[in-house]
Structure 1
């Protein structure tokens, strides 16, 4: 298959998996947690390399995932001890990211493990990095990795949909009916960490942040029902990938960046033209109310 197909598929899988989990982050007012995880995994990547002496993706994935979960634990610990959520996120990710930057500058100056390599990725090259899985050749490693994580997220959310839904909308009620809210919080954060880490190598950790927020925020403007929001976020994420690729081809720019721009365009359209929550719809509703009031 052509590299175009694999690039679009990888982008669609990343955007869809991030958007799917991003719905729960937005509902829980934790949209910037993805930003925290995407930055704070840097020391995990560097330490994994220093310990193993290898740039193997699985090794770095494990190191990054450990620090992703550590980030969630520290944020939760600070928040439960009186620190506001946004402050806890800011303190944690800046501290861990700074540690990562220091480690990169001290120990990896002669290795291809610089900040550009770790943070920005390059989706244009995914088609050339293939692996043999279950006897299937020619499929990019990123497709297997992100696709597997997306499948895990779908299965976990599907099995515990009611619990995740109640924890997102009313944690107090969830605790009152016997749902272990903290357990499902860490389960969701674990899925977010896995998705962020799995996606950073292909599209870059920074751009993953946009896909965690923008498709789900767009879906939030289009519906008031969680199940529809989840489906719409996946569709919007995939559409952003397709649009972004052809925008990048047209103007000869960064593919991952163009995918994020495409997601932003779709959000802007929903922001203005959403039938219920869009700016135009609200203006029309306000005008009708004023007209009725004057009658």
Structure 2
């Protein structure tokens, strides 16, 4: 197996593992929680190191996960106090714990140099190398990531109903015996564990990208949660392969290329999504505008049916003066209404068909009822 393919598989595992809990973060409008967790891990790692004094100890991973859960608890406490908004609470906790971690490193470890590129973008190429020792057994990040992916799939399958209900209607969930708070914090634990496993391999930038971008793109394509989870994992895997191949071709950083691939993938979905994409929304606005103009024409003709001015008001040549449209716009609307079967041309004027009269009657009837 070539190094590029092997690296792509490593990043694909990270992407899929992050995308599953990331979908629930996006739906719960807590997407930036992953960013806060990703940055406060240093605080937990440093505290765990002060306890065990061993950089190869797996307890550093547990310390990092505990710091992520602590960040969530502090954010929730500040928000529930009623004095701080959710976004401000997130910023306060994120900045305080991250700064505390950096401060402890700078004070306790002199002459340390932090590589900014490696800290921010990670080093996916080294994810296969053993980093920790447990019971005289060397553990590499990719093994941990594989275990986290399997755990996330298992939990999403076993607790799908509970997660779905507490995400979309926590009030109903509480009324029928579920505990939304317990499920929420359990989800945050899963997010923290996943972020810890992914952080060492791909860095905080890609951690946030894998949590948020695939899920946000999937949300634009479907209203079904199960489909959204599958699409989010698929989008993350596709971006991992595309970004790795692009990095190899351009001889650039892998993490940066994958992050750009994630952004490009979201941009494509944002443009061409069938219902929520920019193109689809633009087409829908045009369709609604055309339908409104046809309805205005039908209402105008219906209001003058059976009146002395019916002939004058329905003449195609002078219709634009009554509707305050340009002659060109009037001709287009009349032609479209005729094709759709709302009006017919007769004796130089326009007549409503039964379907056109029914449409106008609906609007006029609703208007009269509203005025009553």
Which bracket does the TM-score occupy, shorter chain normalised?
over 0.9
Shift of 1:113: 6.6
* Correspondence for 1:58: 58
Q: Which runs of 5+ in 2 are unaligned?
A: 295-372
Q: How many residues align?
A: 291
**Equivalent residues of 2:58, 2:132 under 8 A apart:** no
* Correspondence for 1:147: 146
Shift of 1:145: 0.6
Shift of 1:130: 8.0
**Equivalent residues of 2:173, 2:180 under 8 A apart:** yes
* Correspondence for 1:279: 278
Structure 1: distance between partners of 2:166 and 2:262 = 28
Structure 1: distance between partners of 2:173 and 2:102 = 40
* Correspondence for 2:201: 202
Structure 1: distance between partners of 2:260 and 2:118 = 21
CA displacement, residues 151-176 of structure 1 (integer Å, 9 cap, x when unaligned) = 11111121111110011111111111
Query: How do 1:105-116 residues align onto structure 2 when only pairs under 5 Å count?
Result: 105-110=106-111
**Equivalent residues of 1:19, 1:233 under 8 A apart:** yes
Structure 2: distance between partners of 1:291 and 1:111 = 66
* Correspondence for 1:10: 10
Structure 1: distance between partners of 2:128 and 2:148 = 19
**Equivalent residues of 1:37, 1:71 under 8 A apart:** yes
Counterpart check, 1:86 vs 2:87: yes
Structure 2: distance between partners of 1:259 and 1:117 = 15
Structure 2: distance between partners of 1:115 and 1:105 = 15
Q: Which has the larger radius of gyration?
A: 2
Instruction: Report the CA distance shift for 1:131/1:73 in structure 2 as closer, same or farther (over 3 A).
Output: closer
Structure 2: distance between partners of 1:147 and 1:265 = 26
Shift of 1:97: 0.5
Query: How do 1:16-35 residues align onto structure 2 when only pairs under 5 Å count?
Result: 16-35=16-35
Instruction: Report the CA distance shift for 1:276/1:168 in structure 2 as closer, same or farther (over 3 A).
Output: same
**Equivalent residues of 2:4, 2:245 under 8 A apart:** no
Deviates more, 1:103-112 or 1:264-273: 103-112
Q: SS in structure 2 opposite 1:222?
A: coil
Q: Which runs of 5+ in 1 are unaligned?
A: none
Counterpart check, 1:44 vs 2:41: no
Deviates more, 1:93-102 or 1:118-127: 118-127
Structure 1: distance between partners of 2:22 and 2:248 = 28
CA displacement, residues 64-106 of structure 1 (integer Å, 9 cap, x when unaligned) = 0111111111111112221322111111111100101111211
* Correspondence for 2:105: 104
Structure 1: distance between partners of 2:65 and 2:118 = 18
Deviates more, 1:114-123 or 1:246-255: 114-123
Structure 1: distance between partners of 2:129 and 2:226 = 36
* Correspondence for 1:95: 96
Instruction: Report the CA distance shift for 1:294/1:57 in structure 2 as closer, same or farther (over 3 A).
Output: farther
Instruction: Report the CA distance shift for 1:68/1:130 in structure 2 as closer, same or farther (over 3 A).
Output: closer
Instruction: Report the CA distance shift for 1:109/1:254 in structure 2 as closer, same or farther (over 3 A).
Output: farther
Shift of 1:281: 0.4
**Equivalent residues of 2:79, 2:89 under 8 A apart:** yes
Structure 1: distance between partners of 2:121 and 2:110 = 18
Shift of 1:217: 0.4
**Equivalent residues of 2:121, 2:256 under 8 A apart:** no
Shift of 1:124: 1.5
CA displacement, residues 86-143 of structure 1 (integer Å, 9 cap, x when unaligned) = 111111111100101111211223457766655442012223448999xx99xx8222
Query: How do 1:255-294 residues align onto structure 2 when only pairs under 5 Å count?
Result: 255-294=254-293
Instruction: Report the CA distance shift for 1:56/1:118 in structure 2 as closer, same or farther (over 3 A).
Output: farther
Structure 1: distance between partners of 2:218 and 2:157 = 19
* Correspondence for 2:71: 71
Structure 1: distance between partners of 2:117 and 2:250 = 22
Q: SS in structure 1 opposite 2:128?
A: helix
**Equivalent residues of 2:199, 2:207 under 8 A apart:** yes
